[in-house]
C-alpha cells in the first residue's frame, strides 16, 4: 500500500525532540524517514524556521505531527506544498488571528506552577507531576523537569495566520486526563477543523504513555494523505 514516507515530529513547551523517543523507533522499524525537530521556543518564527529546515532535508511529501504548542507551529508551516497531512496530539490548532492566550483563556486560568524569569517560563516539578505527566513514571517525570526547554513568554501572545488545517487533511488525538490543554478546548478545536479524532485516556504526553495508539494514527495519516 502506498504511503507518505516522511514524518516530521514537532514538540511543545517544556519538552524537546526526545519526547517522541517511544514513537521514533517504531516509525523507523516500519520504514519511515523521521526527523524530530528541536524547537528553540524563542519565537514562532524561530520554531517555524526549525521545522522548515527539517522539511528541506526530506525528499517527497511528509506528515507533520505537532504536540501541544507544536500544533501552533504545524498550523503555520503546514501550508508548505510538501506537507500532505497534519496530526495534532493534544495540540493547539489556532484559527486566523488567534493566540495561545485567546484559546486557553476560554477554559480556565494559568497554572500556579509556571515560573516566569527573564522573559521565559519554567514549569516546576510539581507542575510536571500534576499538569503535564501524571500518568508517567516518577523517573520520566523527573527527566522532563530536568531537561525542559523553556518557552519565551512572547509565544503565548503571537497570532496565527492562514491555518493549514483549512486545506490539509487533519487528525487529532484527544487526551481525556489532560490538565495542560483542557479536553473541552481540544474538542472545540478538533471539531471546527473537521479533523478525524481519536480519544486516548492519557495526560498531556500520550506519545510516551500510549505510543502504540499514537503510532496508529500517524500510520493512518501517512496512508490516507496520499
Residue 58 lies in a domain: yes
15 in a structural domain: yes
Q: What is the pLDDT of residue 199?
A: 97
Whole-number pLDDT of residue 124: 95
DSSP output for 39-101: ---S-HHHHHHHHHHHHHH--S-EEEEEETTHHHHHHHHTTSTTEEEEEEES-----TT--HH
Element (H or E) spanning 141, and its range? helix 138-147
The domain total for the chain is: 1
Residue 142 lies in a domain: yes
The confidence score (pLDDT) of residue 110 equals: 66
Residue 11 lies in a domain: yes
pLDDT of amino acid 226 = 66
Mean pLDDT by 10 residues, the chain (226 residues): 90 96 97 97 98 96 98 98 98 97 82 89 95 96 96 96 96 96 96 97 97 97 87
Specify if 1 maps to a domain: no
CATH of residue 105: 3.40.50.1820
- Residue 106 has what pLDDT? 82
DSSP sequence for 179-214? SSS-HHHHHHHHHHHT-EEEEE--SS-HHHHSHHHH
217 within a domain of the structure (yes/no): yes
Is residue 53 included in any domain, yes or no?
Answer: yes
| Residue 109 pLDDT | 65
Range of the domain at 50: 6-224
Q: Which residues contact 54 (CB under 8 A, 6 or more apart)?
A: 8, 35, 37
In a domain? residue 72:
yes
Amino acid at each position: 500500500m502506498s504511503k507518505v514516507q516522511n514524518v516530521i515530529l514537532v514538540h511543545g513547551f517544556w519538552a524537546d525532540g526526545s519526547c517522541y523517543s517511544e514513537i521514533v523507533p517504531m516509525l523507523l522499524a516500519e520504514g519511515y524517514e523521521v526527523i524530530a525537530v528541536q524547537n528553540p521556543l524563542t519565537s514562532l518564527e524561530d520554531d517555524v524556521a526549525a521545522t522548515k529546515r527539517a522539511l528541506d532535508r526530506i525528499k517527497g511529501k511528509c506528515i507533520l505531527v505537532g504536540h501541544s504548542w507544536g500544533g501552533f507551529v504545524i498550523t503555520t508551516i503546514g501550508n508548505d506544498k510538501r506537507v500532505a497531512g497534519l496530526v495534532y496530539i493534544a495540540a493547539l490548532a489556532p484559527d486566523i488571528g488567534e493566540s495561545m492566550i485567546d484559546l486557553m483563556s476560554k477554559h480556565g486560568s494559568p497554572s500556579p506552577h509556571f515560573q516566569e524569569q527573564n522573559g521565559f517560563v519554567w514549569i516546576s516539578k510539581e507542575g510536571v507531576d500534576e499538569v503535564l505527566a501524571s500518568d508517567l513514571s516518577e523517573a520520566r517525570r523527573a527527566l522532563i523537569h530536568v531537561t525542559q526547554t523553556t518557552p519565551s513568554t512572547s509565544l503565548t501572545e503571537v497570532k496565527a495566520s492562514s491555518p493549514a488545517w483549512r486545506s490539509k487533511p487533519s487528525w487529532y488525538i484527544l487526551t481525556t486526563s489532560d490538565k495542560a490543554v483542557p479536553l473541552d478546548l481540544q474538542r472545540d478545536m478538533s471539531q471546527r477543523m473537521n479533523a478525524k479524532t481519536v480519544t486516548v485516556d492519557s495526560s498531556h504526553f500520550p506519545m510516551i504513555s500510549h505510543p502504540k495508539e499514537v503510532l496508529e494514527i500517524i500510520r493512518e495519516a501517512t496512508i490516507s494523505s496520499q
